[in-house]
Structure 1
Amino acid sequence: MSSGHLPPQRIAKYDIERILGSGAMGVVYKAQDSQIERTVAIKVLHEHLRQGEHGADLEVRFLQEAKAAARCLHPNIVTIFDFGSDGAPYIVMEFVEGIELKAHLRSDTFISLPSATDICIQVLEALGHAHEKGIVHRDIKPANIILLENGTVKVSDFGVARLDTSELTSTGFMVGTPNYMSPEGLQGHQVDTRSDLYSVGVLFYELLTRDRPSRDLSLAQNLEKLNSARHLSSQSIRSIKPILERALQPDAKQRFQSSAQFITQLKSIEDMDLTLATTAHFPKPDNYRPDKYVAQAPAEANAFSSSQWSDDLLQSLEHSLARFVGPMAKLLVRKNSRSASNLDQLMANLTRHIP
Structure 2
Amino acid sequence: MPSSPMSKLGRYEILEELGKGAMGVVYLARDPLIGRLVALKTFRAGFSPQDQELEQFRSRFMREAQSAGILSHPNIVTIHDIVDEAESGVCFIAMEYVRGSNLKLLLQQPEPLPFEFVVSIVSQVGDALDYAHSRGVIHRDVKPANILITAENKVKITDFGIARLGSSNLTMEGQLLGTPNYMSPEQIQGREVDHRADIFSLGVVLYEMLIRRKPFQGENLTVVTHRIVHEPFAPPGEILQRLPQGLGAVLARALEKDPARRYPAASALAADLQRLVRAPLPAAAGPAEPDDDTAATQEIPRPEEETPAPARGIGPALRRLFGRMRSPRGLLVTALAGLLLVAAVGLGLFLSGDRAPAAPVAPPAPAGTAVASEVTRRLDAARRLLQQGDPTAALGEVVAAEHLRGDDPVVRQVRHEVEEAIQAQRRTATLASRIAGGLAAAREALERGRPSEAKIAAEAVLALAPDQEEASQLLADAERRLALESERRRAARAVPPAPTPAPAVPTATVVAVVTPTPPPPPVAREGTLSIDFFTEVPEGVLTVYADDRQIVREQFRFSKRTGFLRSEKQPGTLHYDKQLPSGRLVLRIYVAVPGQPTRAVSVEGEIAGGGRQALRIRVSPDGATTAELH
Tell whether the structures are fold-level matches, with TM greater than 0.5. Answer: yes
After TM superposition, the runs of 4+ consecutive aligned structure 1 residues lying more than 6 A away are: 165-169, 273-276, 317-321, 337-340
- 2:90: which partner in 1? 88
- 2:71: which partner in 1? 72
Say if 2:240 is the partner of 1:229: yes
Higher relative contact order (CA 8 A, sep 6+): 1
Q: Deviations for 1:226-259, whole angstroms, at most 9, x for unmatched residues?
A: 3331442xxx1x3211111011111212211222
Task: Identify which range, 257-266 or 323-332, moves more after superposition.
Answer: 323-332
- 1:28: which partner in 2? 26
User: Which has a greater percent of helix?
Assistant: 1
* CA apart distance, 1:331: 8.6
Quick one: structure 1 residues 106 and 59, their matched pair in 2 at CA, closer, same or farther if it must change by over 3 Å? closer
Provide the rounded CA distance (Å) in 2 between the counterparts of 1:26 and 1:272: 48
Provide the rounded CA distance (Å) in 2 between the counterparts of 1:7 and 1:273: 59
Percentage identity across paired residues of the two chains = 33
8 Å Cα contact 1:198/1:247 also seen in 2: yes
After superposition, residues 180-219 of structure 1 pair within 5 angstroms as 180-214=182-216, 215=224, 216=227
8 Å Cα contact 1:137/1:161 also seen in 2: yes
Unmatched tracts of structure 2, length 5 or more: 165-169, 217-223, 283-300, 322-348, 361-630
Q: Deviations for 1:156-175, whole angstroms, at most 9, x for unmatched residues?
A: 113x2327576997xxxx64
- 1:98: which partner in 2? 100
- 1:278: which partner in 2? 303
- 1:263: which partner in 2? 270
Structure 1 residue identity aligned to 2:206:
F
Provide the rounded CA distance (Å) in 1 between the counterparts of 2:64 and 2:303: 47
Quick one: structure 1 residues 167 and 79, their matched pair in 2 at CA, closer, same or farther if it must change by over 3 Å? farther
Residue of 131, 134, 138 corresponding to 1:132: 134
Say if 2:15 is the partner of 1:13: no
User: Which has a greater percent of strand?
Assistant: 2
* Secondary structure class of the residue paired with 2:139: coil
* CA apart distance, 1:221: 5.0
- 2:396: which partner in 1? none
Structure 2 residue identity aligned to 1:107:
Q
Provide the rounded CA distance (Å) in 2 between the counterparts of 1:339 and 1:63: 37
- 1:305: which partner in 2? none
8 Å Cα contact 2:122/2:206 also seen in 1: yes
- 2:375: which partner in 1? none
* CA apart distance, 1:32: 1.0
- 2:354: which partner in 1? 334
Quick one: structure 1 residues 88 and 226, their matched pair in 2 at CA, closer, same or farther if it must change by over 3 Å? farther
Quick one: structure 1 residues 337 and 111, their matched pair in 2 at CA, closer, same or farther if it must change by over 3 Å? closer
Provide the rounded CA distance (Å) in 2 between the counterparts of 1:273 and 1:161: 41
Quick one: structure 1 residues 198 and 332, their matched pair in 2 at CA, closer, same or farther if it must change by over 3 Å? farther
8 Å Cα contact 1:124/1:259 also seen in 2: yes
Quick one: structure 1 residues 110 and 337, their matched pair in 2 at CA, closer, same or farther if it must change by over 3 Å? closer
Q: Deviations for 1:191-226, whole angstroms, at most 9, x for unmatched residues?
A: 221111111000000000000012448765511x43
* CA apart distance, 1:127: 0.6
8 Å Cα contact 1:109/1:326 also seen in 2: no
8 Å Cα contact 1:114/1:273 also seen in 2: no
Task: Identify which range, 62-71 or 148-157, moves more after superposition.
Answer: 62-71
- 1:177: which partner in 2? 179
Provide the rounded CA distance (Å) in 2 between the counterparts of 1:168 and 1:10: 41
Task: Tell me the TM-score normalized by structure 1.
Answer: 0.70
Unmatched tracts of structure 1, length 5 or more: 1-5, 281-300, 303-313, 341-355
8 Å Cα contact 1:107/1:326 also seen in 2: no
Work out which of the two has the higher radius of gyration on C-alpha atoms and give 1 or 2. 2
Say if 2:52 is the partner of 1:53: yes
Quick one: structure 1 residues 59 and 43, their matched pair in 2 at CA, closer, same or farther if it must change by over 3 Å? same
8 Å Cα contact 2:25/2:42 also seen in 1: yes
Structure 2 residue identity aligned to 1:251:
D
Provide the rounded CA distance (Å) in 2 between the counterparts of 1:318 and 1:326: 14
- 2:499: which partner in 1? none
- 2:146: which partner in 1? 144
Structure 2 residue identity aligned to 1:229:
L
Q: Superposition RMSD on alpha carbons, in Å?
A: 3.8
